[in-house]
Structure 1
Amino acid sequence: MKKLINDPLRVADEEVEGFVKAFPSYVKKLEDVRVVVRKNAPVQGKVGILVGGGSGHEPFWFGYTGEGMYDAVIVGEIFSSPTPDAAYKGTKAIDGGEGVLYLLGNYEGDKMNLGISKERAEAEGIPIEIVNVTDDVASAPPSQAQERRGIAGNLFVIKVAGAKAEQGGILEEVKNAALKANSNTRTMGVALSPCILPATGRPNFTISEDEMEIGMGIHGEPGIERTKVKSADEVAEILTMKVVNDLPFKGNDEVALLLNGLGSTPLQELFILFRKIEEILTSKKIDIHKALIGNYCTSIDMMGCSLSLMRLDDELKELFDAPADTPYFKM
């Protein structure tokens, strides 16, 4: 294993320290917990938004803390859930008197620990709502969509909910905006290599040099098909059709698009993929309102990518286009 780290067991802590030092005009860290909040938190009269999960997905989760996105981020160790105490302290730090929305990736550990935090906060009079993002079409069939994982499509849900909160929406309105974004978002990924876990120095799964796995999760969860590596155009068609057919997206739909690298896939390859994705969507008369291409939700140093689409109506389009100013996402 070759990594520029110190103690493998302090990677998450030292990452937080570096991030906060790099962006002091955007964020601040709470004492004694791995919690980062926007610099001006709490914002009085505004619904607070708290997100979180395991570290290892940079620039998720820290990178999108700020105006127009979320107010607090809590992270666990690599690929591990944050603690109930961190969630509770993050909630308290961003409570501006209008309640707090938790946006989660629908992983059991996150749901359990933030559920404990929710009970503690509500006992003190802070209203809490929870939305579980479920964009990963590979993780469960449409009939069990509520069991799907949240992956890169989290970004769309966060953007929409963050804009609604920034505009002064009440807690129920912010929650409903998040639910609407989630129900209109679908993602499918492909992995070409594992990631190397710093604590062990070993890959989190094995795959042959000539293989790829369609639908693999961002923590190495099994996908839906392992095949020989295909060409960029073939991969683009697989991902696009899996996403389009699931909602389904139809002609005259307008979408926001995210082509997300998983850590070690160069932009060169993402743009090669996008040229084919755009061609397929255009042939189906699906209009790309805006495309985001790059590393937004990674899996440490995994090779691969994911494609997310969010179908837009007037409300979602306005919220998606609303201003945002964070270290790694601006609109």
Structure 2
Amino acid sequence: MKKILNNPADYVDEMLDGLCAAHPESYRRAGESGRVIVRADAPVQGKVGVVSGGGSGHLPTFTGYVGRGLLDACSIGNVFAGPSVGDCVDAMRAADGGAGVLRLYGNYGGDRMNFDMAGELLEMEGMESTTVLVADDIASAPREEKAKRRGVAGLLYAYKIAGAMADRPGATLGDVTAAARKAVEATATIGVALTPCIVPEAGKPTFTIAENEMEMGMGIHGEPGLWRGPLKPADAIVAEMMERLLADTGIGRGERVSVLVNSLGATPHEELYILYRRIAQELADKGITVTFPLVGRYATSMEMAGASVTLFRLDETLESLLRAPAHCPFWSV
């Protein structure tokens, strides 16, 4: 595989330079290291700040979702490596409008440790903060061990719901935290990988997989999935993904869901729509109504070929927050 880059060690910083140069109305860099992306008008005084963070290599997740009605700031690490404690501190400070800060990020050990340390440091200075972990990857742990699951593409829904609640006049840190937790509980994701990707500083594929193989449930960093075997037709892939998602969530007839069909990086929109076509048919056959479908690149893994499917169980409150205005260069409502 070939990559367009200069020095691999400069990959993330040059990417952030380009991101902010292309979208100065939306993003600015902050923090001592420059590894914090902040909403152009942040902090918004009197509003709860919503902060996230994670490794590079997943655009638009994480930094891409800084914007109105979404995140106020985001710390970013090297490719597939979490942000530093200092960057987490700087992101929280940049988002603090005096009403407290929610730390909202994926359930990964390094991210948890560094955000926890950042929170403790700033709480000692008087900042009020809370944490909500996104753990939507149903392939990474059984339902009875849901707290061990990884956070993947379902982060998008948590960002949207928390950001929309934070924009409501008078919303407190408790309100925003409760909304984010409700979103996480309503979200389930499973993915399928077809090819590996290359971390620039490593210069070689993260794993190997045969040309005629697929892996169900592989994580966004190449974590082992549920099984590996011959590549199946699109409808057969959807059948297994939907069976697993519906069994895990218990979503059934008469309910409403949003569906996210996400490219892991290299999979084109045409193939995503082939998947969505069958997903929509299966849900309709089961009496489940799809509203607000999302199809595209929302949470990638460099140039990995593959896709993930997320079901987001809706009620009146969550649907209202999902439909609330939001804007960043990668997604607007």
State the distance in 2 between where 1:310 and 1:59 align: 19
Cα drift, residue 306 of structure 1: 0.2
Cα drift, residue 239 of structure 1: 1.2
| Partner of residue 241, structure 1 | 243
1:29-108 paired onto structure 2 within 5 Å: 29-33=29-33, 34-108=35-109
State the distance in 2 between where 1:237 and 1:274 align: 12
The runs of 5 or more residues in structure 1 that have no matched partner are: none
State the distance in 2 between where 1:125 and 1:72 align: 19
| Partner of residue 180, structure 1 | 182
State the distance in 1 between where 2:51 and 2:215 align: 32
Cα drift, residue 31 of structure 1: 4.5
State the distance in 2 between where 1:228 and 1:31 align: 47
State the distance in 2 between where 1:172 and 1:309 align: 25
State the distance in 2 between where 1:31 and 1:53 align: 15
| Partner of residue 126, structure 1 | 127
Secondary structure in structure 2 of the residue aligned to 1:137: coil
Q: Which moved more, 1:47-56 or 1:240-249?
A: 240-249
| Partner of residue 11, structure 2 | 11
State the distance in 2 between where 1:197 and 1:96 align: 36
Residue 50 of structure 2 aligns to which amino acid in structure 1? I
Secondary structure in structure 1 of the residue aligned to 2:221: coil
Cα drift, residue 32 of structure 1: 2.9
Coordinate RMSD, CA, aligned: 0.8
Secondary structure in structure 1 of the residue aligned to 2:237: helix
Tell me the alpha carbon deviations over residues 267-293 of structure 1, each in whole angstroms, 9 at most, x when there is no partner.
111111111111101011110011100
Note if contact 2:31-2:91 (Cα within 8 Å) is conserved in structure 1: no
Secondary structure in structure 2 of the residue aligned to 1:305: strand
| Partner of residue 303, structure 2 | 301
The runs of 5 or more residues in structure 2 that have no matched partner are: none
Q: Would you say how many aligned residue pairs link Structure 1 and Structure 2?
A: 331
Cα drift, residue 196 of structure 1: 1.3
| Partner of residue 316, structure 2 | 314
TM-score by length of 2: 0.98
Note if contact 2:31-2:87 (Cα within 8 Å) is conserved in structure 1: no
State the distance in 1 between where 2:168 and 2:305 align: 38
Secondary structure in structure 1 of the residue aligned to 2:83: coil
| Partner of residue 163, structure 2 | 162
Residue 89 of structure 1 aligns to which amino acid in structure 2? D
Cα drift, residue 329 of structure 1: 1.0
State the distance in 1 between where 2:240 and 2:310 align: 13
Tell me the alpha carbon deviations over residues 165-223 of structure 1, each in whole angstroms, 9 at most, x when there is no partner.
01131001100000001101100000001111111221101111111000000000000
State the distance in 1 between where 2:161 and 2:255 align: 18
TM-score by length of 1: 0.99
* Identity of matched residues, %: 45
State the distance in 1 between where 2:52 and 2:21 align: 21
1:192-271 paired onto structure 2 within 5 Å: 192-271=194-273
